[in-house]
Amino acid sequence: MNVYHPKVTAWFWLLGMLFIGFLGSQSLGKDWLETGFLALLPVTEQKPEIARAVRQHNEQLNRKVIWLTGAATSQDAIAHARQLKQQLQQSGLFGKLMLELPQQMMVKQYQQLFPYRYQLLDVQTRFTLDNNPKDLLAQNLETLYSPIGQMTAADLEHDPLLLFSRYFNAQNPLKLTVEQGIVILHDADRFWALLLTDLEDQHLQLDKLEVLLALVNSSTTQTQAAGGDLMVTGMPLFTAQGSDSARQEISTVGLGSSAGIVVLLLLTFRSLRPLLLSFLAIGSGLFAALVVSVLFFGKIHIITLVFGASLIGVADDYAIHFVCDSFGAKNWLPRQGLRYIFPGLVIGLLTNLLSYAGLVFSPFPGLQEVALFSAVGLLAAWLTVVLLFPLLLTGFKPDHQPLILVCANYWQQHWPVWLLKKRRWLIPVLLVFIAGGLWQLSPRDDVRLLQSAPAELLKTADKIKQLLPVSQENQFFLVSGHDINDWHQHEQQLLKRLNLLTQEHKLMAYQGLSDYWPDEDNQETNYRLLDKTLYQSGLLKQYMNELGFSEQAINTELKQFSEAKNRSISLPEWLATADETKQQLWLGCDVDRCLSRVVLTGITDLPALAALQSLQGVTWVDQVEQLSSLFARYRVSVSLLLIAAYLLVFTGLGLKFGWYDALKITAIPVVAALVSLAMMGWFDQLFSLFNLFALLLVLGIGVDDAIFFFMADSSAALSNETDHDRRASTSLAVTLSALTTLLAFGLLAVSSTEIVHAFGFTVATGILTALVLSPLVGNRTPDSREIKSSKRR
Amino acid sequence: MIFLKVLLLFLLSFNQSYAADVLAEISARLVKTPITQGSFQQEKRLKVLRKPLISTGTFTYHQSKGVIWKTLTPIPSLLLVNESHLLTGQGEQAVPAAFGKVFKAMLGGDLKQLTEGFLITGENKKPSWQLQLKPKDEFLQKIISTILLTGDTELRALEIQEVTGNLTRISFTQVTHPVNILPEQEADFERLSP
């Protein structure tokens, strides 16, 4: 131990940190934060075509923000919308702003597709022709005689059967009212003008989202000041609100908990030093963890950052145990102190490393990241304590008896005695409590619980959905075929089934390319169908005659029809005329495969839709489901690894201290974890992957508590000092460590974001249990005395 | 030149206030009740057709619920419309621009509402008045050139002149103002409000 020079070791620490700092300057300059959920999936599960489709789908959804300005008259609503558009344009946040419908584009599309009107029949028209061609003519007459027929019959001269106006209208299933080129929606007492925007950047960066939120707020006040209303919805808004509220809560709770920790440590030590040292240890741990993980993985996921950082919180234990030891000896020297607690620190570190490192063996990249991140962080924090603290604690010797020390000491002396005395009924009660709680525990892995949108936002979104049922769902179908015809067939089969589902009200609407673009075979069939039913049969002639078309007009029509015989339009040609939303449904063809997406609106029966994936060439993509099941698998995987790690820890401790003591030590964290789980069951708390990370924290701290109590006894046995003092300082350290952890994480239980709340709840119950139970470890003297005396009686 | 412009402006503004006065006078002549119903004869003259499309039927106007347009000849059909919905035998349709509002204004006698979307000129003669409407909305201008209204205490005829040369003339007869609508009409309106 004489080799151990505080100054030398401090230099080591400094050199090490400088080296990490150097590495950090190299690696942290790049974009190192990953936020996409696909990165969390094991490599084998990331089918590239699904990944691509999901990415495209999300890019589309993640950009869209829908704005509705409302007023008592449509004129005013439009005026507000124009004002808003200007404001949004100035923000520079949006790549696309659409208020007026692109009339030019629609005219162009009309002209480009018109020559193919005999080939491009919409589904309904084809159905009518197949079943009763005369119905089509009757419908035409109804349209022509109605007072509003003008619009649909505008091109009667060139399209006497109104075939193309049917096809063109079918492309926009929503019947929207347009005024001054702007879509106007109407509810009970208000007109709403529609403004569609796409964010410039699809990556939903947090700072951009904040700007968006501010923009929504300022435009709401402005529109209201002008006497109007504003409703806004869109995925970016949910993300912004969600992260905003979670961040606000965490920072409020964080502020409170930091203040609590500062006051607690100041009151105990009457010095700033322990506080600063704790921060230093955890800070260097976090920094080293970040640098090494980024170096190793290239990019780390935001989930890694959050949970890894929480797990490093265990490192606070080491600092506190060290500093608290100063109360344990009369003439305390940091070097001596370290010597006493060193074995405890080593075992604590090893057990924690072991439990975290277990995560490395899971197949999930996310867990591997967490494992490396927290292991490195823990090691660096531990090294900071061991290498740097002896120097920085030089001359640190509190000469007061803090109240908390007195309390903790009194408590550790008497509490275990009471517990042991009552164990005859305490143990059964505890067992029943745990068993009952675990019985009621049921995991909920639904990823939607992660997002907690404010009720107001949900209400607006619902209202907009009712007015304008266009918002796409998260779920979609991926349709493939080995060539275009094969793909077309597969998609048509799917769309037919979807049509049935919409009639059963299990789905509001769907959109697939093959409904708009018949493949070349079908184009020919359509032409022949028209030929057979209306042209050859003479029905067309009769219909045109009765309506009053001239002989010449009839002949022109017949001539045009026969000239169009061999026309066909290819998919790329068709896509070139389509709007962006439809173009994005097509994912292209490669050597042996063609792919498209079919998007959905207003799903009311998910299982019915998911069942359609049994169709040939159809894949059901449900990201919510996929992510939830990913979390479920993560949860199972973490649980198993956790159990394995603890068996290992138990074995290690057993080999070193004997099986009885090992059992005692491991019993503390295990019982704490069980009680925590049971509490979740009793109080019907959210139980998911995230609670397990909290449990890892509980286990880490629980095992530290137990080991330090155990070592306090064995080190006291080695030294000449009284057993009493060492246990007193240990109980202080355990209490302080429990309190700081409770303040840091347990307070999160007050959060209204369910996932944050669950994390806090788990930590709070687990830590409290560990605190309550840990004095039982190594409580040899009173314990044995008690037993002896009770035996004597 | 400047003088001419000023004169023109003056005349224009005079003309407008004159129209507003006329509008108020005509409005005052109209019977205004929540419910109006009657028969119609519609005559459509489309340029491409050599003979007019003539249809007859009944209409019911309800101030808050909308309009039932029931064609009886030559092909029976039903059209339901209010400010935001339009339902025909072929399902829900897009409401043409300003259509719902115009319908309501004309049949309900709320002529003032028309000034919002149209430039109005006209004369208030006895026994019948006449108004000429030109759309302000440039999108509507592409379709409708003028709408001509004639009437006395009721609207008697409506003529829509389209830019393409097509013409629609609707005349109203047997106009009455019942206090309540019939249950079957009630049911029709029910279909309009989802």
* pLDDT tens figures, A650-692: 888 898 888 988 898 899 999 999 999 999 999 888 888 878 8
Sort out which chain B residues have CB atoms less than 8 A from A103's CB and list them: 139
Q: Which of A125, A128, A146 best probes binding to B when mutated, by most B CB atoms within 10 angstroms? A: A146
Distance CA A719, CA A329 (A): 11
Of B48, B53, B98, the CB nearest to A549: B48
Residue A628 above 50 pLDDT? Answer: yes
Sort out which chain B residues have CB atoms less than 8 A from A181's CB and list them: 139
Provide the shortest C-alpha distance from residue B7 to chain A (in Å).
31
% of chain B surpassing 70 pLDDT = 84
Q: Which of B49, B54, B167 best probes binding to A when mutated, by most A CB atoms within 10 angstroms? A: B49
**Between chains, do A141 and B46 touch, taking CB under 8 Å as contact?**
no
B83 touches chain A (CB under 8 A): yes
Residue A183 above 60 pLDDT? Answer: yes
pLDDT of residue B2: 46
Beta carbons within 8 Å of A597's beta carbon, 6+ residues apart? A53, A56, A57, A476, A477, A478, A479, A584, A585, A587
- Give which of A756, A745, A779 is closest to A314, Cα–Cα: A745
Q: What confidence tier does B18 reach under pLDDT thresholds 50, 70, 90?
A: low
CB B89 within 8 A of CB A142: yes
Of B46, B83, B170, the CB nearest to A147: B170
B94 touches chain A (CB under 8 A): yes
In this predicted model, what pLDDT tens digit does every residue of A305-350 receive, in sequence order? 777 777 777 778 788 888 888 887 777 788 878 887 888 888 888 8
Of B53, B81, B98, the CB nearest to A144: B53
Distance CA B137, CA A738 (A): 72
**Between chains, do A145 and B74 touch, taking CB under 8 Å as contact?**
yes
For B61, phi and psi rounded to 5 degrees?
A: -110, 130
Sort out which chain A residues have CB atoms less than 8 A from B170's CB and list them: 147
Beta carbons within 8 Å of A256's beta carbon, 6+ residues apart? A747
Mean pLDDT score of chain A: 83
Chain centre distance of CA A766: 25
**What letter does residue A646 receive in the DSSP assignment?**
H
Provide the shortest C-alpha distance from residue A548 to chain B (in Å).
5
CB A44 within 8 A of CB A419: no
A107 touches chain B (CB under 8 A): no
Provide the shortest C-alpha distance from residue B165 to chain A (in Å).
11
**Between chains, do A142 and B75 touch, taking CB under 8 Å as contact?**
yes
CB B188 within 8 A of CB B78: yes
Sort out which chain A residues have CB atoms less than 8 A from B101's CB and list them: 74
Q: Higher confidence at residue A172 or residue B4? A: A172
Of A74, A103, A177, the CB nearest to B94: A177
Q: Residue B131 has which token pair?
A: 């108004």
Q: Which of B84, B140, B159, B193 best probes binding to A when mutated, by most A CB atoms within 10 angstroms? A: B84
Distance CA A288, CA A295 (A): 10
Angle CA A639–A641–A645, to nearest 5: 120
Provide the shortest C-alpha distance from residue B22 to chain A (in Å).
24
pLDDT of residue A266: 86
CB A537 within 8 A of CB A520: no
Residue A718 above 60 pLDDT? Answer: no
Q: Which of B71, B95, B145 best probes binding to A when mutated, by most A CB atoms within 10 angstroms? A: B95
SS3 call for B173: strand
Provide the shortest C-alpha distance from residue B127 to chain A (in Å).
28
Q: Which residue of A has its CA nearest to B55?
A: A145
Q: Alpha carbon of A114 to those of A118, A517, A541: distances in Å?
A: 9, 13, 21
Most confident of A644-658, A708-722, B19-33: A644-658
- Which has the minimum average pLDDT: A176-190, A234-248, B54-68, B112-126? A234-248
Distance CA B73, CA B70 (A): 9
pLDDT of residue A488: 93
% of chain A surpassing 70 pLDDT = 90
In this predicted model, what pLDDT tens digit does every residue of A275-293 receive, in sequence order? 888 888 888 998 999 899 9
Please give the class, per CATH, of domain B2-64+98-177.
mainly beta
Strands (DSSP E) found in A173-271: 177-179, 182-186, 191-199, 229-233
Q: Residue A660 has which token pair?
A: 């009885």
Distance CA A526, CA A538 (A): 18
B48 touches chain A (CB under 8 A): yes
Residue A719 above 70 pLDDT? Answer: no
A139 touches chain B (CB under 8 A): yes
Provide the shortest C-alpha distance from residue A149 to chain B (in Å).
10
B93 touches chain A (CB under 8 A): yes
Of A74, A175, A186, the CB nearest to B92: A175
**Between chains, do B75 and A180 touch, taking CB under 8 Å as contact?**
no
**Between chains, do A142 and B46 touch, taking CB under 8 Å as contact?**
no
The residue count of chain A comes to 793
B139 touches chain A (CB under 8 A): yes
- Give which of B87, B142, B91, B139 is closest to A184, Cα–Cα: B139
Residue type, A456: E
Distance CA A510, CA A516 (A): 12
Sort out which chain B residues have CB atoms less than 8 A from A177's CB and list them: 84, 94-95, 97, 100
Q: Residue A231 has which token pair?
A: 């409703």
Hey, where are the domains in chain A? 6-30+270-440+626-792, 123-170+521-567, 475-517+569-621
Chain centre distance of CA A696: 21
Average pLDDT on A69-79 reads: 89
In this predicted model, what pLDDT tens digit does every residue of A389-423 receive, in sequence order? 888 888 777 777 888 888 888 888 888 888 888 88
Q: What confidence tier does B100 reach under pLDDT thresholds 50, 70, 90?
A: low
Residue A451 above 70 pLDDT? Answer: no
For residues A309, A310, A312, A314, the Cα torsion angle rounded to the nearest 10 degrees is 170
pLDDT of residue A47: 73
Q: Which residue has the tokens 């029931």?
A: B70
**Between chains, do B139 and A176 touch, taking CB under 8 Å as contact?**
no
CB A463 within 8 A of CB A655: no
Q: Which residue of A has its CA nearest to B59?
A: A147
pLDDT of residue A746: 75
Name all contacts of A428-436 with Cβ < 8 Å and 24+ positions apart: A430/A671, A430/A675, A433/A675, A433/A678, A433/A682, A434/A671, A434/A674, A434/A675, A434/A677, A434/A678, A435/A678, A436/A678, A436/A681, A436/A682
- Give which of A553, A461, A492 is closest to A158, Cα–Cα: A553
Strands (DSSP E) found in A200-255: 229-233
**Between chains, do A148 and B49 touch, taking CB under 8 Å as contact?**
no
Please give the class, per CATH, of domain A475-517+569-621.
alpha beta
CB A287 within 8 A of CB A16: no
The helix (H) or strand (E) run that includes residue B156 is: strand B155-162
B53 touches chain A (CB under 8 A): yes
pLDDT of residue A489: 93
Distance CA A711, CA A22 (A): 38
Distance CA A547, CA A145 (A): 11
CB interface of A with B, residues 45-74, below 8 Å: 73-74
Average pLDDT on A734-739 reads: 85
Q: Higher confidence at residue B1 or residue A495? A: A495
Distance CA A383, CA A377 (A): 10
pLDDT of residue A783: 42
pLDDT of residue A786: 39
Q: Which residue of A has its CA nearest to B117?
A: A75
Residue B12 above 70 pLDDT? Answer: no
B162 touches chain A (CB under 8 A): yes
Distance CA A668, CA A412 (A): 15
Residue type, A162: L
Q: Residue B124 has which token pair?
A: 């208030």
Residue type, B187: A
Of B75, B93, B138, the CB nearest to A145: B75
DSSP-assigned beta bridge partners for residue B118? B135
Backbone CA torsion sign across A131, A134, A135, A139: positive
A186 touches chain B (CB under 8 A): yes
Q: Higher confidence at residue A423 or residue A220? A: A220
Q: Where are the alpha helices (DSSP H) in A683-750?
A: 689-718, 723-744
Average pLDDT on A235-264 reads: 75
In this predicted model, what pLDDT tens digit does every residue of A28-64 receive, in sequence order? 777 777 666 556 666 656 677 777 787 777 777 778 8
Q: Which residue of A has its CA nearest to B40?
A: A147
B69 touches chain A (CB under 8 A): yes
- Give which of A182, A235, A237, A172 is closest to A210, Cα–Cα: A237
DSSP-assigned beta bridge partners for residue B147? B133, B160
pLDDT of residue A110: 85
pLDDT of residue A144: 86
Q: Exposed, middle or buried, A86 (CB in 10 Å: 0-12/13-18/19+)?
A: exposed
Q: Residue A169 has which token pair?
A: 């209208």
The helix (H) or strand (E) run that includes residue B49 is: none
**Between chains, do B164 and A154 touch, taking CB under 8 Å as contact?**
yes
Q: Higher confidence at residue A4 or residue A19? A: A19
A with B: how many residue pairs have Cβ under 8 Å apart?
98
**Between chains, do A177 and B49 touch, taking CB under 8 Å as contact?**
no
Model ipTM value: 0.84
The count of other CB atoms within 10 Å of the CB of residue B21 is 11
Hey, where are the domains in chain B? 2-64+98-177
CB A749 within 8 A of CB A382: no
Of A141, A143, A549, the CB nearest to B49: A549
Q: What confidence tier does B10 reach under pLDDT thresholds 50, 70, 90?
A: very low
**Between chains, do A547 and B42 touch, taking CB under 8 Å as contact?**
no
Distance CA A243, CA A89 (A): 25
- Give which of B41, B34, B32 is closest to B170, Cα–Cα: B41
The helix (H) or strand (E) run that includes residue B178 is: none
Distance CA A407, CA A734 (A): 12
